Amino acid sequence: MTNATPRPMRLDALAYGGDYNPDQWPEEVWHEDVRLMREAGVNLVSLPVFSWPQLETSPGVYEWGWLDRVIEVLWAGGIRVDLATATATPPAWLVRRHPEMLPWDADGRRLEFGSRQAYCPSSPVWREHVARMARAMAERYGEHPAVVLWHVSNEYGDHVARCWCPESAAHFRRWLEARHGDLDGLNEAWGVNVWGQRYTAWEQVEPPRRATGPINPTQLLDFERFSSDALLELFRVEVDVLREVTPELPVTTNFMSIFRELDYWRFAEVEDLVTDDAYPDPADPRAHVPAALNYGLMRSLKGGQPWLLLEQAASAVSWRDVNVPKAPGRMRIDSLQAIAHGSDGAMFFQWRQARYGQEKFHSAMLGHRGERSRSFRETAAFGRELQRLAPVKGARVRSRVALVVDWDSWWGSSAAESLPSQRLGWLAQARAWHGALHALGHAVDAVRATGPFDGYDLVVVPNLYVTDAAQADALAAFAAAGGTVVVGPFSGVVDPTETVHPGGAPGPLRELLGIEVDEPWPVPDGRAERIELDGVGYDAPVWTEWIEASPEASVVARFAAGVLDGRPAVTRRGHGDGAAWYVGAALAEDGLVEVMRRALADAGLPARDRIDRDLEAVTRADDATDFTFVLNHGDHEVVVAVPDGAEDLLGGGTVGPRLVLPPLGAAVLAAPRAAEPPFVTLSETTE
Ligand code: GLA
């Protein structure tokens, strides 16, 4: 059930607002809430995410009255509703009636009620009840004009992404049977002759519980796939009901940024709108860099369609060990960053700060001090300012660079306990590669390894541990047609059953890359090898490889120390009208930046000569206009060269050719759409 024509959300402005939990407050507060929401420019709220127990107080006994009244109060105030199906957490009465729906951990311990998400994703009882609740919500509120979006469940997998209970085990067996056909297929795929694991009956097959030693890696990988699919099935249970009762209303479920446990490519196929919850750590001065990767993924999950930042913090969160508030201006620049990257709005968790419960120290738009709280002053000011950005709604980010995100490779290279090194880290590599391109001035999209690659000049593949022929063919076709591909270490290693490709890595990528990997050569902790690139040395910590380059491949950089001294480290092979690079090492940041600089040049793309990692520029465009967001994430002034005469939607008036951005400063430049997206650099002159 893919969703080829996403239903649009009926909201004629950028979305602004937050999670609203009116059932934590007396009714008179709701009226004050709406008054203050209007003052803050709020036009959308998400509710009632965790309210099932307040809506169905005992089996079949519904208390709709309070929610009816809240929705009326909001509607009267002109505020739209992102209506949750309220299935993010089960009522206690349901759990006590059906304790078998509680999830188990890998040690076989049942997880108790007392937090949220107390359900096994495979539980038939849970599935039956969420379908019932979604139907009840849809039938009661689906026609209400205030309701513009369905918010299914909440952050699937946040607390319980994997379950090892007997129901999950049975579901896993059914899933395996569908994937592998029969036990012979399973035994072959799992390579059971190693360590004698042949199965002769399906009942013998279990999810990977804690075992005596390292577990079969294909069993682990299949369990990751299965667990993501089990939650996707659960999502579909609700989506099917909602589509039946309210076929016009768009559906979303809020994602958790770039999240290992769920294959968001597949989730996004089902929904109409991608929404994300993002919590860059204010204590990390570089947090905007991984945030850009995350947002690149969000806009790419539905092929560039605008997405929505559904949750962020106005200031501090309450779930880190140390929860640093956002300095004045940080919430604004963080919000602008998400919008720059294609979000059609900026929303928060939550509207009014709780006074009790697990999240009472989590900031909100309206802090404990109410109207007098700094978070209210800042969010209200930003809500008003946001109205100036109305023209960017619907515009799409212009990017010529994409990074391959592949959940199979992420799972395969991290679930197994028997790898050349446990240190490579799929996400760390993806972030490092993205970070280098970010430093060089590019907004990076995400893409599947099979594409589509239309519109890109450069596709980078930080890690594709699990590779099949379709992926290799798609990458080769992109290069043949003139694209530049850069593939990172430990790619093309295994097929989807985790069987090493004949002849070893890079398997089906061998022809394209023109190299063979004789052996991975991981680097011991605390040490680093060196590579030399154009006469300059760079560190290669964590991972190197013994590479044999074919005569067709040229050597771009060589190792410059240790056993691999003089051997190829980075290679390039021309392929059709394009080229394919291989980077056989995990490089430290400076080296990676230099490799990416050369790859960008090979792809005919610009790169910043001088780098300031706090400067970010992203262009969203509609048919007529380029909207270039120029953002200074840092605590120092940045002087930027921009196209002359552009209109600044935020500051008003025209700017250029120099633009001075104070700490946390931003401009959104509107100019007629150019053939190439504007490329923003630091100014060469400080005058
Ligand atoms: C997630 C959840 C919210 C809330 C916030 C707190 O995003 O979806 O319900 O718990 O975290 O940061």
Kindly report, residue by residue over 68-83, the tens digit of the pLDDT. 999 999 999 999 999 9
pLDDT of residue 1: 45
How far, in Å, CA of 160 to CA of 222, rounded? 17
**Apex 124 CA angle, 120 and 125, nearest 5:** 85
Pick the residue whose CA is nearest to atom 3 on ligand 1. 349
How far, in Å, CA of 631 to CA of 577, rounded? 36
DSSP code of residue 8: P
623-634 average pLDDT score:
98
Of 47, 254, 277, the one to substitute when testing ligand 1's pocket (max ligand atoms within 8 A of C-beta) is 277
- Cα(337) to centroid of ligand 1, in Å? 20
Ligand 1 atom showing the smallest separation from residue 319 Cα: 12
373 in Cβ contact with 325 (< 8 Å): no
- Residues above pLDDT 70, as percent of the chain: 99
- Cα(386) to centroid of ligand 1, in Å? 23
How far, in Å, CA of 138 to CA of 154, rounded? 17
State whether the Cα torsion 561-565-566-571 is positive or negative.
negative
Say yes or no to pLDDT of 540 above 50.
Answer: yes
Residues near ligand 1 (Cβ within 6 A): 154-155, 277, 279, 311, 317, 319, 349, 359, 362
DSSP code of residue 583: E
Say yes or no to pLDDT of 346 above 80.
Answer: yes
How far, in Å, CA of 163 to CA of 368, rounded? 37
554 in Cβ contact with 571 (< 8 Å): yes
Would you tell me how many other CB atoms lie within 10 Å of the CB of residue 176? Answer: 25
Kindly report, residue by residue over 106-154, the tens digit of the pLDDT. 999 999 999 999 999 999 999 999 999 999 999 999 999 999 999 999 9
Would you tell me how many other CB atoms lie within 10 Å of the CB of residue 644? Answer: 11
Where in the chain are the domains?
A: 15-162+224-394, 166-219, 401-602, 615-682
How far, in Å, CA of 20 to CA of 33, rounded? 9
Radius of gyration from C-alpha coordinates of the chain? 26
Contacts of 467 (CB under 8 A, 6+ apart): 409, 449, 491, 492, 493, 494, 495, 501, 506, 507, 508, 509
499-514 average pLDDT score:
98
Q: What is the pTM of this model?
A: 0.98
CATH code given to domain 401-602: 3.40.50.880
CATH code given to domain 615-682: 2.60.40.1180
pLDDT of residue 686: 56
How far, in Å, CA of 453 to CA of 64, rounded? 48
Pick the residue whose CA is nearest to atom 12 on ligand 1. 317
Contacts of 36 (CB under 8 A, 6+ apart): 366, 371, 376, 380
- Cα(124) to centroid of ligand 1, in Å? 26
Ligand 1 atom showing the smallest separation from residue 50 Cα: 9
Burial 16-55 (b: 16+ CB within 10 A, else e): bbbbbbbbbeeeeebeebbebbeebbbbbbbbbbbbbbbb
Pick the residue whose CA is nearest to atom 4 on ligand 1. 349
Structure tokens at 187: 């035994």
Kindly report, residue by residue over 352-387, the tens digit of the pLDDT. 999 999 999 999 999 999 999 999 999 999 999 999
H-type alpha helices, 18-165:
27-39, 52-55, 65-76, 92-97, 124-141
Would you tell me how many other CB atoms lie within 10 Å of the CB of residue 387? Answer: 12
Ligand 1 atom showing the smallest separation from residue 279 Cα: 12
Catalytic residues, which ones?
155, 311
Question: What is the fold of 15-162+224-394?
Answer: TIM Barrel (3.20.20)
Task: Give the pairing of strands 578-583 and 681-682.
Answer: unpaired
Kindly report, residue by residue over 249-304, the tens digit of the pLDDT. 999 999 999 999 999 999 999 999 999 999 999 999 999 999 999 999 999 999 99
Kindly report, residue by residue over 153-162, the tens digit of the pLDDT. 999 999 999 9
